[in-house]
A and B are shown apart, each in its own frame.
Chain A
Amino acid sequence: AQKVTQAQTEISVVEKEDVTLDCVYETRDTTYYLFWYKQPPSGELVFLIRRNSFDEQNEISGRYSWNFQKSTSSFNFTITASQVVDSAVYFCALSEIRIIGSARQLTFGSGTQLTVLP
C-alpha cells in the first residue's frame, strides 16, 4: 500500500523567509511518480511538479526547489523568499507507474497549510 505523510499541518512564516515543506512516502513499487500540488483558498489544485523515482536530481524553478532523497523516501519542497501569494495548502502525492492504459491513482498526503504573513 502507498502512503504519503506530511507531518507539518500548519506553517506560518513572515514574508521573504524561506520555508521547507516536508513529504515522506511509502511504496512497494520500485518506480513511481511524486507530485506537489498547491491548493489556494479558491479550492482548485495547481500542479507544481512531477518527479520520476529514477531521477534524483534536485530541481529548481524560480523560487521553488525540490529535494528528492530516495534513500530516505523524502521529497521536500522549499520556497525561497516567500510571498503572501504563496499562502495555500500544499499537497504531496504519489502515483505508481503502470503500463499504458491502466488506471492510475494519486495518493495524497494530508496537506500543509502555509501562511505567509506580510
Chain B
Amino acid sequence: GAVVSQHPSRVICKSGTSVKIECRSLDFQATTMFWYRQFPKQSLMLMATSNEGSKATYEQGVEKDKFLINHASLTLSTLTVTSAHPEDSSFYICSARANTGTASNEKLFFGSGTQLSVL
C-alpha cells in the first residue's frame, strides 16, 4: 500500500536553531500534503496545506514565517521550524493525499511523525 515517510522521527535542538522535517510519498505522487501539530494528550491541529508548486495555505494563528513549508516536487514536502523555541516543542505529523482519479477513492496517508524537543 501507499507509504509516507517522515524524517527525522525525533529531533532535539537548541533554542534559536532551525529544524527541517521531511515528508515523502514513496510510491505515489501527492499534489497536496498536510502538516499537523499535536501537543501531548491533545488532538491533531492542522497547521497548513502544502500544494506542489505553489505557496502553502496556513491556518489561522500559524505563523508562516516561523513554519516554512516547501513542496517543490510531487513526492516531497518539507516543514522548517525557524528559530525554534521551547514552546515549539511538539509532535509534528504530515499526511499526503493520493490521487487515484476519483474523489471516492482518494485517500490520505500519514507519516510516522516527528517529535521535536527544543531545549
Interface residues of A (CB under 8 A from B): 37, 42-45, 47, 50, 52, 91, 95, 97-101, 103-111, 113
CB–CB A105/B34 < 8 A: yes
The size class of the interface chain B forms with chain A is: 20 to 34
Interface class of chain B by DSSP: strand
Q: Does B97 contact A (CB under 8 A)?
A: yes
A-B contacts, 30 of them at CB < 8 A, read A43-B91, A43-B93, A43-B112, A43-B113, A44-B93, A44-B110, A44-B111, A44-B113, A45-B93, A45-B110, A45-B113, A47-B109, A52-B104, A91-B43, A91-B44, A97-B103, A98-B103, A100-B102, A100-B106, A101-B31, A104-B32, A105-B34, A105-B49, A106-B44, A107-B46, A108-B43, A108-B44, A109-B43, A110-B42, A111-B42
B34 touching A106, Cβ below 8 Å: yes
Contact between A106 and B108 (Cβ–Cβ < 8 Å)? Answer: yes
Chain B nearest CB from A98 CB (Å) reads: 7
Which residues of the other chain, B, contact A101 by a CB distance below 8 angstroms?
A: 31
User: From residue A29, how far is it (CB to closest CB) to chain B in Å?
Assistant: 13
Minimal Cβ-Cβ distance residue in A for B59: A105
Q: Shortest CB–CB separation between residue B56 and chain A, in angstroms?
A: 10
Q: Which residues 7-43 in B have Cβ within 8 Å of A in the complex?
A: 31-32, 34, 41-43
A-contact 0/1 string along B89-119, CB 8 Å cutoff:
0010101010101111011111111010000
Interface residues of B (CB under 8 A from A): 31-32, 34, 41-46, 49, 51, 57, 91, 93, 95, 97, 99, 101-104, 106-113, 115
4 additional A-B pairs beyond A44-B112, A91-B43, A106-B34, beta carbons within 8 Å, are A45-B93, A103-B32, A103-B49, A106-B95
* A47 neighbours in B (Cβ, 8 Å): 107-110
**Measured between C-beta atoms, what is the minimum distance from B71 to chain A in Å?**
12
